[in-house]
Amino acid sequence: MNKADKNTKKENEGEETVKEETGGKVYEMSEQVTFDSVMGDEKGVDYEKLIKVFGCTSLHKDLIDRFERLTGQKSHQLLRRGIYFCHREFNKILDCIEQGKPFYLYTGRGPSDAGIHLGHAVPFVFNKYLQDVFGCILVIQITDDEKFIYKENLKLEKTIEMGHENIKDIIAFGFNPLKTFIFSDCEYIPHIYKNCIKIQKAITFNTVRSLFGFTNSDNIGKIAFPAMQCAPCFPDTFPHIFGNKKDYYCLIPCAIDQDPYFRMTRDICQKMGYKKTCTIYAKFLPALEGKNTKSSSSGNRPLILMNDKPSEVKTKINKFAFSGGKGTAEEQKELGANLDVDVSYSYLEFWLADDDKLAEIKEKYSTGKMLTGEIKSILVQVLNDFLKEYQDRRSKVTDDDVKLFTTVRKMDPSVDLYKRMEKKPEEVVPPTNPSKYLISKTSDLSTLEKLLTNQMYIHGNQPGCEDAYVYYQWFSTKSEPNQSDFPAVWAWFALISLYNHNVLELWKNIKEEKKEVSKEHPKDHQKDKKNKKDNVDHTKPAPKQEKADECDDLFADETPEQIKAREDLEAKNKKNKEENKKKDDKKPAIIAKSIVLLDIKVFEIDQDLDKLAARVLSEVKKDGLVWKTEYQKLDVCYGIKKLRMGCVVEDEKVSVDDIIDDIQAWEDDVQSVDIVSFNKL
């Protein structure tokens, strides 16, 4: 097969598919969506067709149900409503959760002089949600270099300044500073450059030209930049967080137009010794004027900015938001609105959290029981509530906050979700004594906020019974403090959550010292102490000094009572363990198995797939691996086919990654191997 450059264009109902064969790789681009432009019809982009063109996998309900089951959290509205609609191996991240393997999140933003708008907010809101659920590291890239390269009249100094202000905008979404690292390409270049040049060496010019449509008149900065956006997918780009480890998975939640960058990255991950990058892609927030394109600061289209005033939001929605309602109130009441083209309803799908309220609006608006003015009024209120909370946080962000998030510093790469998963409800012993603070009372929370602003724990500089009692109130209701209203209480709660319940049980015994001091004459208290000291009878032996309160020394020796209690507990646990072992010995061993479906992609049109299947069956053999002898030959495009094969594996004995590595080692015959499905038997 000739591997020289070939460009073939095929027009089919307004969609153009470009095939570029470079070094055996086949890439496709959609006329509707490229990395820098979006264009659809009045109903918007055809996302189902886009999934097929880009070769992604639909995000089905069973995967969302699995996410909720593993995390114990309700999925975000952007996820459960199909705004995030497709993925590349998001199931790998769920596998990581099941197996306790490490991973991290990655997103980014190009600097904008106008600041962040509502379309930019979508990935940041979703990444904030995922970081809260997973408790994992999030790295955020500010691509000031890309903005400078692509904007003809923009000065580099101005780009860097814009990026600095946009970092403040990003911080205002409420990311955890202990788990978030924000970096500018221009400033982080000493750390990122080594991986950049490795990526640049691994990718040909023909590959980036086919993906990004570069021409002979484009500057070479555009050609070099994709490697900068790919580098954060590799964990050792951040040695201050992950060290030199390469075994971390990277999950990138972003809009679908960024897929070319990460499709290219996935092609080289395993050859460079990394785990394949995982992605989850969102639909575009439509422009106010219609769903045929996305909300964007490019051009002069009206859009909702994150710093807009309530009156500005109302004016923009009422004046520009394209309506699917009818021309008159009478027609609207008779026929109802066309929700497929209505922008106001689309925005509510993104931003209205209440599912029941959204369903009610959908039913009323589509059947004529609600007019366009009413739905726009609801949208204005929803957006203004969201923007007010954001703007309140933004007003408090300082240069010191920027320094905190952007400083290269040691960070804990562990996934806090795994610690939370170890805490089982049955381990919790309800407190026997009530707390003097009730989380249901705002006044008590305000008191705690003031208290915890000046000290680490409610008890003082060390934890005590009140810390345990107050924490258990939130734990029993499966809730947590509001971070924006009570930041000090929220920070305290996050710290206490790291301790297991056995430790909290010990804290219950650490009581507050009660010191009775005269309110009228506080000096008399000191005077009485002095008189008592002077009146001591030195002829009598000194009384034994009482042992200091346990809260004064957490490392003091155990009392006889504590030793006996610990020994009794150990004996009881040992007995239970022996009894459980006897029961388990009588039970037949359960062998955990999974059924896996793999797509094996090849280079050549005339490649013998039957021969390749026979080779897989005969050469890829492992204890605990059983191949299905039936297989499928499926069309990819332009006459090229792929091989779909299934197998059953014993989870304890066989790693699917090892199977994939064995097949991909046949570099002359196999382009890549992807997991189509992975289900437990």
The one-letter amino acid code at 571 reads A
Query: What pLDDT digit, counting tens, does each position of 489-512 carry?
Result: 888 888 887 776 666 767 766 765
What is d(CA 646, CA 628) in angstroms, rounded to the nearest whole number?
A: 5
What is d(CA 260, CA 54) in angstroms, rounded to the nearest whole number?
A: 9
Residue 615 lies in a domain: yes
Same domain, 72 and 109: yes
Q: How confident is the model at residue 472 (pLDDT cuts 50, 70, 90)?
A: confident
* Percent of the chain residues topping a pLDDT of 90: 44
Domain that includes residue 443, residue range:
424-507
pLDDT of residue 430: 47
Q: How confident is the model at residue 519 (pLDDT cuts 50, 70, 90)?
A: very low
What is d(CA 407, CA 237) in angstroms, rounded to the nearest whole number?
A: 15
Q: Which residues pair with 88 in a beta bridge?
A: 279
Show which of 287, 307, 341 is a domain's final residue.
Answer: 287
Query: What pLDDT digit, counting tens, does each position of 126-159 carry?
Result: 999 999 999 999 999 999 999 999 988 889 999 9
Radius of gyration of the chain (CA): 30
pLDDT of residue 499: 72
pLDDT of residue 511: 62
* 69-83, 156-170, 501-515: the lowest-pLDDT one: 501-515
Query: What pLDDT digit, counting tens, does each position of 87-136 carry?
Result: 999 999 999 998 888 899 999 999 988 778 999 999 999 999 999 999 99
| Secondary element (H or E) of residue 41 | none
Stronger pLDDT, 37 or 123, i.e. the higher one: 123
Mean pLDDT, residues 222-245 taken together: 95
Average per-residue pLDDT for the chain: 82
Query: What pLDDT digit, counting tens, does each position of 530-589 carry?
Result: 444 444 444 445 444 444 444 444 445 667 777 777 787 788 788 877 877 777 666 666
Q: How confident is the model at residue 37 (pLDDT cuts 50, 70, 90)?
A: low
Stronger pLDDT, 378 or 420, i.e. the higher one: 378
What is d(CA 277, CA 300) in angstroms, rounded to the nearest whole number?
A: 35
Same domain, 259 and 116: yes
Over 62-127, what HEC string results? Answer: HHHHHHHHHHCCCCCHHHHCCCEEEEECHHHHHHHHHHCCCEEEEEEECCCCCCCEHHHHHHHHHH
* 137-141, 298-302, 338-342, 596-600: the lowest-pLDDT one: 298-302
Same domain, 180 and 278: yes
Same domain, 580 and 602: no
Instruction: Say which CATH number the domain at 352 has.
Output: 1.10.240.10
Q: How confident is the model at residue 422 (pLDDT cuts 50, 70, 90)?
A: low
* 210-219, 279-288, 294-303, 355-364: the lowest-pLDDT one: 294-303
Decide: residue 318, CB within 10 A, 0-12 exposed, 13-18 middle, 19+ buried.
middle
Query: What pLDDT digit, counting tens, does each position of 360-407 carry?
Result: 999 999 999 999 999 999 999 999 999 999 999 999 999 999 999 999
Comparing CA positions, the residue from 138, 66, 217, 677 lying closest to residue 411 is 138
What is d(CA 488, CA 475) in angstroms, rounded to the nearest whole number?
A: 18
CA dist 399 → 42, 395, 403 (Å): 43, 12, 6
**pLDDT score of 517 more than 50:** no
Residue 544 lies in a domain: no
Q: How confident is the model at residue 36 (pLDDT cuts 50, 70, 90)?
A: low
What is d(CA 655, CA 131) in angstroms, rounded to the nearest whole number?
A: 28
What is d(CA 621, CA 626) in angstroms, rounded to the nearest whole number?
A: 8
Q: Which residues pair with 104 in a beta bridge?
A: 250
What is d(CA 574, CA 557) in angstroms, rounded to the nearest whole number?
A: 24
Query: What pLDDT digit, counting tens, does each position of 450-462 carry?
Result: 888 888 888 787 7
pLDDT of residue 254: 93
Residue 186 lies in a domain: yes
Show which of 569, 589, 609 is a domain's final residue.
Answer: 589
What is d(CA 588, CA 291) in angstroms, rounded to the nearest whole number?
A: 59
Show which of 507, 524, 541 is a domain's final residue.
Answer: 507
Q: How confident is the model at residue 439 (pLDDT cuts 50, 70, 90)?
A: confident
Over 572-584, what HEC string results? Answer: HHHHHHHHHHHHH
Same domain, 356 and 370: yes
The two tokens of residue 32 are 């509707």
Residue 40 lies in a domain: no
pLDDT of residue 22: 35
**pLDDT score of 631 more than 60:** yes
Residue 14 lies in a domain: no
Same domain, 281 and 382: no
Mean pLDDT, residues 10-18 taken together: 33
Residue 463 lies in a domain: yes
The two tokens of residue 501 are 């319940």
Instruction: Say which CATH number the domain at 630 has.
Output: 3.30.70.60
Query: What pLDDT digit, counting tens, does each position of 262-281 carry?
Result: 999 999 998 899 999 999 99
Residue 498 lies in a domain: yes
Going by their DSSP bridges, the two strands 180-184 and 249-255 should be labelled as unpaired
Same domain, 164 and 228: yes
**pLDDT score of 411 more than 80:** yes
Same domain, 485 and 598: no
Q: How confident is the model at residue 62 (pLDDT cuts 50, 70, 90)?
A: very high
- The domain tally of the chain equals 5
**pLDDT score of 6 more than 50:** no
Mean pLDDT, residues 232-243 taken together: 96
Query: What stretches of 458-538 show up as alpha helix (H) in DSSP?
Result: 465-476, 487-496, 501-507, 522-534
**pLDDT score of 9 more than 50:** no
**pLDDT score of 21 more than 70:** no
Instruction: Say which CATH number the domain at 118 has.
Output: 3.40.50.620
pLDDT of residue 370: 92
Mean pLDDT, residues 416-433 taken together: 56
Q: What angle do CA 616, 618, 623 make, to 5 degrees?
A: 95
Residue 21 lies in a domain: no
Same domain, 67 and 169: yes
What is d(CA 327, CA 329) in angstroms, rounded to the nearest whole number?
A: 7
**pLDDT score of 1 more than 80:** no
Q: How confident is the model at residue 432 (pLDDT cuts 50, 70, 90)?
A: very low
Same domain, 440 and 584: no
The helix/strand/coil state of 373 is helix
What size, in residues, is the chain? 681
The one-letter amino acid code at 142 reads I
Comparing CA positions, the residue from 375, 343, 340 lying closest to residue 361 is 375
CB-CB contact of 149 with 225 (8 Å): yes
Same domain, 581 and 600: no
- Close Cβ partners of 229 (under 8 Å, ≥ 6 residues apart): 108, 141, 143, 146, 261
Q: How confident is the model at residue 206 (pLDDT cuts 50, 70, 90)?
A: confident
Same domain, 585 and 597: no
